Amino acid sequence: MRFDMPKNTKHQEVNQSAGTEAKVPCTSCKVETTHKVRASVDIRGEDWFDGNSIEYWVSHQIIECGGCETVTFRTINTHSEDYDLGPEGMKLNETVALFPSRNEGRSLAKDSHLLPAKVHRIYAETINAMNNGQPVLTGIGIRALVETICKDRSAAGSNLMTQIDSLVTLGVLTPAGAAILHKLRTLGNVAAHEAKPHAAQQLGLAMDVCEHLLQGVYILPHHAKKTFG
Ligand SMILES: [Zn+2]
C-alpha cells in the first residue's frame, strides 16, 4: 500500500468574521472603544513537517469604531503551537497587529522647528520610527536624542548617567525627570545591545519625557527671550 504524505491546506473565506465586535484602541477617540468588523478575509490552514502539522488562522479585518466611525485595519494571527495552559485548558495566543499602529498619528511637538537642526533630525526620525511600528529603532532614537541634548548643553560627566544628572544641576531638568531619563537610558541600552523591542506604551511615555526636555531646553527659552527680551 502506498502512503500519501498529507498535503498542506489553506482555505480562505470572505467576511466570516464580519459583524463581530471587539474592544480596540481608536486612533481618533484615543481610548479603547467597541469596534465592529465591517469586512474580513479569514484564512485557516495546515502545514505539514515530518509527519506533524501546524494549524494556523489569520483574520484580516476592516474595523470601524462604534463611537466616531473611524475605519482602520486589524490582523489577528493564531497558530496551534502558540498557546497557554490555564484553568480552562489550552488557550491559543493571538498576535494582533493594528494599522495604523496605535502610536501612529503622533506628530512633531508644537514649535519643533525651533530645535537645532541635528536635534530636530533625530527627533523627527525617532517619531517616524515610532509611527511605523519600529520599537527597536525608536528605543535607540530616544537614547540618541538624550545624548545629543546632553552634548549640546555641555552637560558635565563622562557617561550618559552623570550627564543626565548634570542636566538637573544646569536647571533644565527636574530630579523627577532625571529619574525617568535614567530609566530611558537603560531602555536605550537594552534596545541597542540586545535588539529587544519595547512595549509601545513604554516608548510613548519615554517620548513624552523627551518632548518635555526639548521644551525646557530649547523651545521655552526661545519664547522667553522673545517675550521678555
Ligand atoms: Zn473612535
Residue-by-residue DSSP string for 155-176: --SSSHHHHHHHHHHTTSS-HH
Residue 229 pLDDT greater than 80, yes or no: no
Q: Give the pLDDT score at 100.
A: 83
Greater model confidence, 136 or 55 = 55
Please write down the long-range contacts of 15-19, taking CB distance under 8 Å and 24 or more positions apart.
15/39, 15/40, 16/40, 16/42, 16/59, 17/42, 17/59, 17/61
- What is the pLDDT averaged over residues 201-219? 84
* Cβ count near 31 (within 10 Å): 9
Q: Mind listing the pLDDT tens digit for each residue in 80-130?
A: 988 888 888 888 888 888 888 776 568 888 899 999 999 999 999 999 998
Report the pLDDT value the prediction gives residue 68, as an integer from 0 to 100.
Answer: 95
Distance, CA 152 to ligand 1 centroid (Å)?
41
The rounded Å distance from CA 36 to ligand 1 centre is 11
Give bridge partners of residue 24 from the DSSP assignment.
33
DSSP state of 219: I
Q: d(Cα 158, Cα 161) in Å, to the nearest integer?
A: 8
The four Cα atoms 172, 157, 191, 121 give a dihedral, to 10 degrees, of 50
Sign of CA dihedral 68, 74, 80, 82: negative
Distance from residue 205's CA to the centre of ligand 1 (Å)? 22
The C-alpha angle 20, 21, 23, rounded to 5 degrees, equals: 155
Phi and psi at 8, nearest 5°, equal: -65, 140
186-208 pLDDT per residue, tens = 666 665 666 666 677 678 877 88
The top-scoring range by mean pLDDT among 49-58, 131-140, 208-217 is 49-58
Name the packing angle between helices 175-194 and 135-152 (round to 10°): 130
Which of 211, 208, 188 is closest to 198 using CA atoms? Answer: 188
pTM comes to: 0.56
| CA 18 – ligand 1 centroid, Å | 18
Ligand 1: distance of its center to the CA of 103 in Å?
15
* Interval 14-31 mean pLDDT: 91
CA of 67 to the centre of ligand 1 (A): 5
